[in-house]
Amino acid sequence: KVKEQIEAFVKNYNATFEKMNELTAFNGVKADNNGVLNGDSTIRNIKNMMRSVLNTQVKHIQGSIHSFADLGILTKRDGTLELNASTLDGALNKDMQGIADFFTATGVASDTFITFDKQSSLTKPGTYSVEVSKLATQAKKEL
């Protein structure tokens, strides 16, 4: 099932990317030939963010999966993705927990008296030091 979901991710990413290309296409000086969103900087920014996410290494997680490339997901010259099935199969056979960690937000406490409660979109990967100055019901790291 994981393999099917990763294949679907690549397929849907490509469909989205190709639709954005269609909507922003420049086919000549006649406006009738151009995509309806030609010149729209918002679409350009979204495409750049999508590419950035795909090329980002996820640090501070266990295992061998730290990037989409480690799963066999590569960016082609035209910006769409291609899936190397043998790389994906190898990752699935070797490090299923690493794949789960790559796609999920997790937190691990180094002390048994401290627990990771939750994360948000503001949570940044890394190591946080917590200093307990008095007993409390809950400590939190300010971002």
pLDDT by residue for the chain (143 residues), tens only, comes to 999 999 999 999 999 999 999 999 988 877 778 889 988 899 999 999 999 989 988 877 788 999 999 999 999 999 999 999 999 999 999 999 999 988 886 666 666 666 777 777 777 767 777 777 776 666 666 66
Measure Cα distances from 72 to 32, 63, 68, 100, 138 in Å. 40, 16, 7, 15, 41
pTM of the model: 0.71
- In 3D space, the residue among 25, 17, 19 whose CA is nearest the CA of residue 73 turns out to be 17
> If residue 138 lies in a helix (H) or strand (E), which one and from where to where?
none
